[in-house]
Structure 1
Amino acid sequence: MRLKSFLSSGLFMSGLAAGTSFNSTQPPTGFPPCDALMQAGLEKSILLPTEPSYAARIESYWSLNSRQHPFCIVQPRNAKEVATAMTALLGADSAGDWHIAIRSGGHNSGGANNIDNGVTIDLVHLNEATYDKKTNLASVGPGAKWMDVYAKLAKDDVLVTGGRDGDVGVGGFLLGGGSTFFMGTEGFGCDAVKNYEVVLTNGTIVNANEKAHSDLWLALKGGGSNFGIVTRYDMEALPNKKLAHKVRTINITHAPQIARDFVEFTDNYEKFTNDALVVYLTHNATISKETIVGTIQVNTEGKVNSTGFEKLDEIPDIAPAQYDHITLAEAAAGSQVAGGTWMCEATLTFSNTKGLMKKAISMHERYVRDMKNAIGEENFATMFFFQPMPTMFGDISKRRGGNMIAFDLEEKNAVLWTAGVVVKTNQQDRIHSQSLMNKMTADLKSYSKSIGGATNLVYLNYADTTQDPLGSYGAKNVDYLKGVAKRYDSEGLFQTRFPLGFKISSVGS
Structure 2
Amino acid sequence: MGAFPNLYGLGADGIKNFEVLLADGRLINANANENGDLYRALKGGGSNFRIVTRFGIETHPLINVQYTINLYNPEDYVEIIKATIAVQETIEDDPKIGLFTNFNHGFVAVSLLYGDTPAQSPLAFEPFYNLTSLITTVVPATNAISTVTTKVSRELYEEAYKSWIETSKSLPVGCVLHFTIQPMGKAGVQAGKDRGENILGLESVPQCWWVFTCEWPKDGSDDAAAQKAVDSSQKVLRSYGTENVKRMQDVAVKYDPEGIFQKLQHNGFLLRNTSEYLS
On whether the aligned pair clears a TM of 0.5, the verdict is yes
Equivalent position of 2:95 in the other structure? 273
Equivalent position of 2:170 in the other structure? 370
Equivalent position of 1:479 in the other structure? 246
Pair 1:318-2:135 in alignment: yes
Change (3 A) 1:348 1:396: same
Q: Distance in 1 between matches of 2:72 and 2:109?
A: 6
Q: Distance in 2 between matches of 1:434 and 1:292?
A: 29
Is this contact kept in 2: 1:197–1:231, CA < 8 A? yes
Q: Distance in 2 between matches of 1:478 and 1:386?
A: 27
Change (3 A) 1:483 1:434: closer
Change (3 A) 1:493 1:434: closer
Which secondary structure does the structure 2 equivalent of 1:320 belong to? strand
Partner residue of 1:504 out of 260, 271, 275 = 271
Which secondary structure does the structure 2 equivalent of 1:403 belong to? coil
Is this contact kept in 2: 1:251–1:318, CA < 8 A? yes
What is the CA distance between 1:359 and its match in structure 2? 0.8
Is this contact kept in 1: 2:69–2:137, CA < 8 A? no
Q: Distance in 2 between matches of 1:498 and 1:308?
A: 47
Write the letter of the residue equivalent to 2:12: C
Quick check: which one's strand share is greater? 2
What is the CA distance between 1:496 and its match in structure 2? 1.9
**1:345-395 Cα distance to aligned partner (Å, 9 max, x none):** 222122211110011111111121111xxx21xx22223111113333222
Q: Distance in 2 between matches of 1:465 and 1:385?
A: 24
**1:198-218 Cα distance to aligned partner (Å, 9 max, x none):** 122223221111111111111
Q: Distance in 2 between matches of 1:401 and 1:421?
A: 35
Q: Distance in 2 between matches of 1:464 and 1:415?
A: 24
What is the CA distance between 1:427 and its match in structure 2? 4.5
What is the CA distance between 1:494 and its match in structure 2? 1.1
Equivalent position of 2:111 in the other structure? 296
Equivalent position of 1:468 in the other structure? 235
Structure 2: runs of 5 or more not aligned: none
Write the letter of the residue equivalent to 2:170: D
Equivalent position of 1:360 in the other structure? 160
Please, what TM-score do these two structures have when normalized by structure 2? 0.89
Which secondary structure does the structure 2 equivalent of 1:401 belong to? coil
Equivalent position of 1:205 in the other structure? 27
Partner residue of 1:391 out of 186, 194, 201 = 186
Write the letter of the residue equivalent to 2:111: I
Q: Distance in 2 between matches of 1:500 and 1:430?
A: 14
Partner residue of 2:123 out of 307, 325, 340 = 307
What is the CA distance between 1:321 and its match in structure 2? 4.2
Structure 1: runs of 5 or more not aligned: 1-178, 284-290, 323-333, 439-462
Cα RMSD over matched residues? 2.4
Equivalent position of 1:491 in the other structure? 258
Q: Distance in 2 between matches of 1:467 and 1:191?
A: 23
Which secondary structure does the structure 1 equivalent of 2:202 belong to? helix
Q: Distance in 2 between matches of 1:346 and 1:484?
A: 27
Which secondary structure does the structure 2 equivalent of 1:501 belong to? coil
What is the CA distance between 1:465 and its match in structure 2? 4.2
Equivalent position of 1:421 in the other structure? 214
Q: Distance in 1 between matches of 2:58 and 2:122?
A: 26
Aligned residues: 273
Q: Distance in 1 between matches of 2:227 and 2:76?
A: 28
Pair 1:382-2:177 in alignment: yes
Decide which moves more: 190-199 or 420-429. Answer: 420-429
Relative contact order, CA 8 A, sep 6+: which one is greater? 2
Greater CA radius of gyration, 1 or 2? 1
Identical columns (%): 27
Is this contact kept in 2: 1:182–1:274, CA < 8 A? yes
What is the CA distance between 1:264 and its match in structure 2? 2.1
Is this contact kept in 1: 2:6–2:184, CA < 8 A? no
Which secondary structure does the structure 2 equivalent of 1:231 belong to? strand
Change (3 A) 1:358 1:262: same
Equivalent position of 2:8 in the other structure? 186
Write the letter of the residue equivalent to 1:475: T
